[in-house]
Amino acid sequence: MLHINRLKRTFNNNQAGFQNINFSVDKGEIIGILGTSGCGKSTLLRVLSGLDPNYEGKISSKDGNDNIGMMFQEPRLLPWLSVKDNISFGLEKEERKSNKYQTYLDLVGLSGFDQHYPKDLSGGMAQRTAIARALITEPEVLLLDEPFSALDAFTKMQLQDLLLSIWQKKQTTMLLVTHDIDEALYLCDRIFILKGQPGEVFAEVAVEKPKPRTRGDAYLSKQKAHILNLLNVEKKAAGDEQ
Amino acid sequence: MISETQKWKAGERATAAKLLSPKGLFKKGRGIVLGSILPVVLLIAWELAAKAGLLAPHLLPAPSVILEKIMSMYRDGSLFGHVSITLTRVFLGFAIGTGAAVVVGAVVGYAKTAEQLLDPLFQAVRSIPSLAWVPLFILWMGIGEPSKISLIAVGVFFPVYLNIVAGIQGVDRKLIEVGKIYQLSPFQLTKRIILPAALPSFITGMRSGLGLGWMFVVAAELMGASEGLGYLLVVGQNTYSPDTVIASILLFAVLGKVTDSVLKWIEYRSLKWQDSISNQA
């Protein structure tokens, strides 16, 4: 449903960004994009979300629907709006006044917090609100840019489970940028490993295990070793060049 | 999640209880008492010194004499006239100055070209001392109300303008990106993200603008008026009556404080969402 063809966006005389990215995403898939920092993975999401229009190549979605949801590393809630109004932010004017937000408030486990302001929320709760805001417009594709990297380990696991349970209910297609190998293995169906500057897809790892998975499962550990190995190759290659 | 929520709720209960407890009320009352000790002691010392003949009554009359002066103006009805005309001038000048600053500040803050075009001029005009405008405005508009109100409006304009521009330019790019994800038009982006985000600095600008408005109304009324608190200052000076001068200074202080409190209250009401020291519940 989402096809990306020879996508390229570089900065600083082709020293940063990414190039030659080709992949397609099927409906309901969770795709992970893994890579060390500086390989252009966040830039890729900015291009896909439309925040960065200066790219080359082609992005096409089957339905021609450009309804995209995005979650950032920070919650990016509007501090002057209550949780309720933050969740409803992306809706049209009439819908904002309805109580459509209630479904999503319950979905992310924040029932009863609708009148609170962001300043009164913990990091995890703020990120839950951001999830609800991203989902309420029922996006075709949900783009997640390291959404849990600023959270503590426990909150992170809770929110990963929350994301999975939402996926089970709504079958939302997701594109998850992360630098956490365990997170990618726990959530994703396929993982693209980006390497280089500018970054290119270096390898694709399929995680053929039905979700929900068990953390620390033997198969996932094996895949993790495989991915680490792939990333190590990069290190060696860099060492050889010097 | 449950632990997170419970933790939060426990925190909320604790702070709410703290506010409502006698101890919390005592704390608030203590602030007021502490703040008024020094003024009360000074007033009493002043009164006693005047009564004992230590202060020359033609230079610094006793507080009771000043109060009596205000009461007599209240009884003969002239107090209301002076206060209301001064308030009207400040209010009109403030409204005009703020209105102009909102329009110009929004354009300058939002459009780079407008900033390059207009900002250097405004910065230059801003550095002209307020009193330098008085003769020019009187030449242009005569000695009546328009020149006075224009002078006040000019004074109010600059702080409001500067703060609006700074507020708009300081809006977090990350929040604007949220709006762009939802494909908001420039107008919607301004209305739903930029203006609310710039509101705190707009209100700061209004408060310092109001302060300057009070300064400029004195300048305007000193120059030529037949009514108003500034006019009372002149009358007091010319008739050697320090009680009139001090009475009008006192009235300026009270009015300035009251109008600022109104803005402060609006600030509190509209910025409850801010995560600041003063908002800690």
Distance CA B62, CA B46 (A): 7
Q: Are residues A147 and A60 in the same domain?
A: yes
Q: Do B177 and A117 touch (CB under 8 A)?
A: no
Q: Which of A122, A138, A154 is the last residue of a domain?
A: A138
Residue span of the structural domain in which A15 resides: 2-67+143-241
Q: Do A78 and B193 touch (CB under 8 A)?
A: yes
pLDDT in the model for residue B72? 92
Per-residue model confidence (pLDDT) at position B244: 92
Question: What is the total count of domains within chain A?
Answer: 2
Q: Tell whether omega for the bond before B129 is within 30 degrees of 0, i.e. cis.
A: no
User: Same domain, yes or no, for A83 and A111?
Assistant: yes
The pLDDT score that the predictor gives to residue A66 is: 67
User: For tokens 């630098």, what's the residue?
Assistant: A179
- Taking contacts as CB-CB distances below 8 angstroms, the residues of chain B near A76 are 174-175, 177-178
Per-residue pLDDT of chain B (281 residues; tens, 9 = 90+): 444 444 444 444 444 444 455 665 677 678 888 888 998 999 999 999 998 988 888 888 999 999 999 999 999 989 999 999 999 999 999 999 999 999 999 889 888 899 999 999 998 998 888 778 888 888 999 888 999 999 999 999 999 999 999 999 999 999 999 998 988 888 898 889 998 999 999 999 999 999 999 999 998 898 778 899 999 999 999 999 999 999 999 999 999 999 999 999 999 888 888 877 776 65
Q: Do A80 and B279 touch (CB under 8 A)?
A: no
Query: Among B159, B146, B145, which residue's Cα sits nearest to residue B98?
Result: B159
Of A117, A122, A137, the CB nearest to B8: A122
What pLDDT, on the 0 to 100 scale, is given for residue A16?
83
Same-domain status, A12 and A41: yes
Same domain, A160 and A43: yes
Q: Are residues A197 and A133 in the same domain?
A: no
Give the count of Cβ contacts less than 8 A between chain A and B.
Answer: 55
- Which among A111, A138, A165 is the end of a domain? A138
pLDDT of residue B11: 42
A137 near A106, Cβ under 8 Å?
no
Residue length, chain A? 242
Our CA-based measurement puts residue B106 at a distance from the nearest CA of chain A, in whole angstroms, of 20
* Mean residue pLDDT across chain B: 86
**A154 and A61 in a common domain:** yes
Q: What is the pLDDT of residue B21?
A: 57
What is the pLDDT, as a whole number, of residue A65?
54
Look up the CATH number of the domain holding residue A24: 3.40.50.300
A38, A197 contact by CB (below 8 A): yes
Task: Judge whether B158 and B126 are in contact, CB under 8 Å.
Answer: yes
CB atoms within 10 A of CB A9: 21
Claim to verify: residue A179 and residue A82 sit in the same structural domain: no
d(CA A1, CA A199): 24
Contacts of B178 in chain A (CB under 8 A): 76, 78, 89
According to DSSP, the β-strands at A200-206 and A190-195 are antiparallel
Residue-level pLDDT at A33: 93
Q: Count of CB atoms within 10 A of residue B210's CB? A: 25
Q: Identify whether residues A6 and A116 lie together within a single domain.
A: no
Is A188 in the same domain as A147? Answer: yes
Which residues does residue A145 pair with via DSSP β-bridges, in sequence order?
Answer: A177
* CA angle, A62 then A66 then A69, to 5°: 120
| CA gap A186, A34 in Å, rounded | 13
Residue of A nearest to B273 (CA): A80
Asked if A163 and A32 touch (Cβ cutoff 8 Å), the reply is no
State the pairing for strand pair A16-25/A173-178: unpaired
Q: Cβ A76–B174 below 8 Å, yes or no?
A: yes
Tell me, what's the ipTM?
A: 0.86
| A169 and A227 part of one domain | yes
Q: What is the DSSP letter of B278?
A: G
Three-state secondary structure call for residue A23: strand
Reply yes or no: is the peptide bond before residue A198 cis, omega within 30 of 0: yes
B1 touches chain A (CB under 8 A): yes
pLDDT in tens, chain A (242 residues): 788 888 888 888 778 888 888 888 998 999 999 987 778 888 899 998 888 888 888 888 765 556 888 999 999 999 999 999 999 998 988 888 888 899 999 989 999 999 999 999 999 999 999 999 999 988 888 999 999 988 899 989 999 999 999 899 888 999 999 989 999 999 999 999 988 888 888 889 898 888 888 888 899 989 898 888 888 755 555 544 44
According to the model, what pLDDT value does residue A127 have?
Answer: 93
Residues in B closer than 8 angstroms to A119, CB to CB, are 273-275, 279
Q: What is the pLDDT of residue B129?
A: 85
* Residue finishing a domain among A116, A138, A160: A138
User: Nearest C-alpha of chain A: how many angstroms from B7?
Assistant: 10
CA B86 from chain centre, in angstroms, equals 15
Q: Which one of B2, B12, B181 makes the best mutation probe of the A interface by having the most chain A beta carbons within 10 Å?
A: B181
| pLDDT attached to residue B14 | 43
Collapse the DSSP code of A61 into the 3-class scheme (helix H, G, I; strand E, B; otherwise coil) and give the result: strand
- Report the amino acid identity of residue A196: G
Residues of A in contact with B183 (CB under 8 A): 50
Same domain, A60 and A11: yes
Same domain, A58 and A168: yes
For residue B12, give how far its alpha carbon lies from the nearest alpha carbon of chain A (Å): 9
Give tens-digit pLDDT for B231-254.
999 999 999 999 999 999 999 999
Chain B environment of A155 (Cβ under 8 Å): 4
pLDDT tens per residue across span B59-106: 889 999 999 999 999 999 899 999 999 999 999 999 999 999 999 998
